[in-house]
Amino acid sequence: MKIFVINLEKDNDRRKSIQDQLQKVNLNAEFINAVYGKGLTNEQLHKACPDFDKISLTLGEVGCSMSHISIYKDMIDKNIPIALILEDDVIFDNSLVSVLSHLDKDSQSFSSNPYVFLLNKTNEYFNSFKEPLIDNYDIVNVIDSAGTFGYVLNLTAAKKLYQYLRPVRFAADEWKLFRERGIIKLKGIVPPVIHHSSLFSSNSSIGKRKHALTDLDKSNRKRAIITQIKLALWRISIRSWMKKIRP
C-alpha cells in the first residue's frame, strides 16, 4: 500500500520520529511537504480559499486542507488505488502492518464506492454490523470523527474529496459532513491503531478557530432537502435501534 506522510519542511524532529517508526516495521513512505498556511501570500490564499475572510477556518486549517488535497490529486494523477495518509505527529501500534495488509485485500478498498477507513480513534460508531478484519480488530461504520492524522482511502474517495474540497471551505477532517453529503462511505478500525504522539500539542500550525461559524459557514453546511429526508428516514428506521459506541 502506498503511504504518504505530511510534514512541514521545518519540522525535522517530527520527520525523524515518523521515519524511525516506519523503518522499524519496514514500511516505506513518500514525504509530502505540508502547506504552511501562515506562509501563504494573499494571492495564494484567496486562490485556494476565495471566501477565507467570510468563514471561520484558520490559516493553518486552510494549509492542512490544501496538503491533503494535494495527495488526493497525486493519487488521481498516478492512478494509485489505495493509500495510507499519515500526519507526522503520530505513533502507531505494532499491528498497523497487519491491518494495512488486510485492508489491502479487502474488497471495499478497491470498490467503485468511495471508502475512507479511519485508523485513529473515532468520536462515535455503530457497534452493529461489525466486520472482522484481523484478530481483535473490526471494521465499523463511523458516525462522527475528527482528525486527519491516520486514514486509508481508495481512489474513488480521493476523486470525490478532491472535487468536493475545492475551493477550500471546510477543514479536511469534517468526516461527518462528508459522510452525510454522500461524498464518502466512512469506516473505522476498532480499536484504533494510530494515535497522536507527544509531538501533537507542540508548535501546532493549525491554530484555534478564529471565531464561531459565520453565516457563510452555516450556508455551506446547510443540507439539501433530499439529504434531510434521507437522514430523517435513516434515523427513524435504522439508527434508532442500532447500538452506538462513544469511545
Question: In this predicted model, what pLDDT tens digit does every residue of 211-224 receive, in sequence order?
Answer: 689 999 999 998 87
Question: CB count, 10 Å around CB of 129?
Answer: 10
Chain mean pLDDT for the chain: 92
DSSP strand pairing (150-154 vs 82-87): antiparallel
The residue ranges of every structural domain in the chain are 2-245
Instruction: Find all residues with CB under 8 Å of 167, minimum gap 6, and list them.
Output: 48, 49, 50, 51
pLDDT computed for residue 58 by the predictor:
95
pLDDT computed for residue 90 by the predictor:
96
Question: In this predicted model, what pLDDT tens digit does every residue of 85-142 receive, in sequence order?
Answer: 999 999 999 999 999 999 999 999 989 999 999 999 999 999 888 999 999 999 999 9
The answer to whether the Cα torsion of 178, 116, 141, 147 is positive or negative is negative
Q: How far apart are CA 109 and CA 97, in angstroms?
A: 16
The CATH code belonging to domain 2-245 is 3.90.550
C-alpha cell at 232: 430523517
pLDDT computed for residue 203 by the predictor:
44
C-alpha cell at 238: 435504522
Question: In this predicted model, what pLDDT tens digit does every residue of 62-77 receive, in sequence order?
Answer: 999 999 999 999 999 9
Q: How far apart are CA 190 and CA 23, in angstroms?
A: 24
pLDDT at 185 over 70: yes
Q: What is the pTM of this model?
A: 0.92
